[in-house]
Structure 1
Amino acid sequence: MTTEQLGTSESTTATATYVYAVSRPLDPAALSGLAGLAEGFPVRTLPLGPLTAVVQHVPAAEFTQDAWQQRLSDRAELERCARAHHEVVTAAAACGPTVPLALATLYRGDERAQQALGADRDRFATALARIEGHAEWGVKVSLPAAAPEPPRTRSPGSGGGPSGGAGRAYLERKRGLHQARERHHDRALQTAEDIDAALSRLATATRRLRPHTQEMTGERHRLQVLNAAYLVTTVRENELLDAVETLRHRTGAEVEVSGPWVPYSFVGEV
């Protein structure tokens, strides 16, 4: 599925169709009161045969490719758009399984949206069947970034002895620190694998994401070793939360869990 880019010559009165999500038929009342991305235009449903698109008219002149590039470069504006998009998707998902579409999915009108989305109807139906009765849970695991340094010890004969003895002690200490860091790193990676394996047994599907760097997290003394998403049935959510608590105590790791979310990470895997 592609998103149509609107040109800069769009008239100030023309509208485009912004698509938030695709779901099964839902009660339009569930979308009432949602502001969406454009004031003055209601968030509504658009039939796609047996499925439904959640859409909104938007002023075409304000949603051109150039306008979107400006939004993407403005962090506050981008966050506002993302929150509005997510709010609509969440409202639709409260009514049943929902496939969220990417931010800035636009078509020149309802008819073009129906044509383009209808061509992917089978894929949407498969994704909806796959995520029905499921939610996405995010798990991040962090550990101390470095192993604790061993206490300094005086090597035999180092006090007042020849300088060669002090040099050997220094090199041995450096070698020991390097080996300790390697062992710590290996244990951290193994902890991540153990936690992922335990949680994966409770999930229908999993997805490993790139761990956040220390620059992203702002935590210089902690290292994120696992960033993963789990597709979990609603009947196993408490099992997942209990497992996370057990893993915290067993491993000593900081395990951050978030959810339940609309399964953004799993709707494309069909």
Structure 2
Amino acid sequence: MTESKYTYCIVDSTDEDRETLGTGIDEEPVSVLVQDGIGAVVNDCPSEAYDTDDRAQAEMWVKQHNRTIERAADALGTPLPMTFDTIFEDEASLRTFLTEHRSQIRNRLNVLAGTEEYGVRIYCDEDVLLEETEPAPDSTGARDSGMAYFDQKKREKQRQRERAERTKERFQTYFPRIEAVVDEIMEEELDRGGDDRGQNVLTASCLVADGEIDGLKRVLSEIDDEPGVDVVFTGPWHPYSFVGSLGTATKNHGT
């Protein structure tokens, strides 16, 4: 029976290594399948997707997936990670995928080589944020309860509009300052829920070359020193956010 290929990541490699990467999901031996100077970190697997209602089992599989990518990165350099449960029907389909996407894969491997990813979240205290606009007058004093209710709703909507406008202004101020000191930056979705640190005005993933982090730290320190502003800085990680899409030629999942 032809074995399917569970694929963890793609790396720059010319050697089919079956020794140094240990085991992956369900303790299957991991190897590197090489096609035209591009390696896929894989193990043999059944054709069915790794799907379970057992939460503990699912978490274990994901941990094994991520740890295998980490080992591959340590041994072979910056990888292009594949999503959990990426399975190719057989070795031939995986080789076809690598050949058809060779130019795109090679480009991303070259761009991401020697880089790390950092996360940035910037929060602003809501009182400070809304100090930047004139408060709406309170006209409820002589109103009956019905009119007071509608006035209150009107003020709440006005406050929401002002919050959105001030958030956009802060984003437009901070984003270019950060962009100027990183290799690439990717805007991420803002946290719309409540947070003790205030209103989330910017969330981004940043790609930074090894040894070039000082510029980003300096800019974030300057922003963090502003009144009512809190910067959350995380990383480094392998640059997963900057891999891009490599197509959907897998049996169960694309990237």
Closer, same or farther in 2 for the Cα pair 1:164/1:18, shift >3 Å?
A: closer
1:83 and 2:71 are equivalent in the alignment: no
Which stretch has the larger CA shift, 252-261 or 179-188? Answer: 179-188
Match of 2:48 in 1: 64
Give the greater-gyration-radius structure (CA).
Answer: 1
Q: How does 1:22-61 map to 2 (within 5 A)?
A: 22-25=10-13, 28=17, 31-33=20-22, 35-39=23-27, 41-58=28-45, 60=46
Residue 54 of structure 1, CA deviation: 0.8
Closer, same or farther in 2 for the Cα pair 1:42/1:167, shift >3 Å?
A: closer
Match of 1:187 in 2: 166
1:261 and 2:237 are equivalent in the alignment: yes
Match of 1:137 in 2: 118
Are 1:30 and 1:92, in contact at CA under 8 Å, matched by a contact in 2? no
1:57 match: secondary structure: strand
Pairing partner for 1:219 from 182, 188, 195: 195
Match of 1:7 in 2: none
Q: TM-score, normalised by structure 2?
A: 0.75
1:129-176 CA distances to partner (integer Å, 9 max, x unpaired)? 11112111111222345658x99x999xx7xxxx46999999888766
Q: TM-score, normalised by structure 1?
A: 0.71
Q: Percent identity?
A: 23
Match of 1:249 in 2: 225
1:208 and 2:187 are equivalent in the alignment: yes
Structure 1 unmatched runs, 5+: 1-10
1:139 match: secondary structure: strand
Which stretch has the larger CA shift, 198-207 or 180-189? Answer: 180-189
Closer, same or farther in 2 for the Cα pair 1:91/1:241, shift >3 Å?
A: farther
1:76-112 CA distances to partner (integer Å, 9 max, x unpaired)? 4443333322222222223323211122111233333
Match of 1:228 in 2: 204
Closer, same or farther in 2 for the Cα pair 1:213/1:185, shift >3 Å?
A: closer
1:20 match: secondary structure: strand
Instruction: Give the aligned residue type for 2:63.
Output: R
2:5 match: secondary structure: strand
Structure 2 unmatched runs, 5+: 247-255
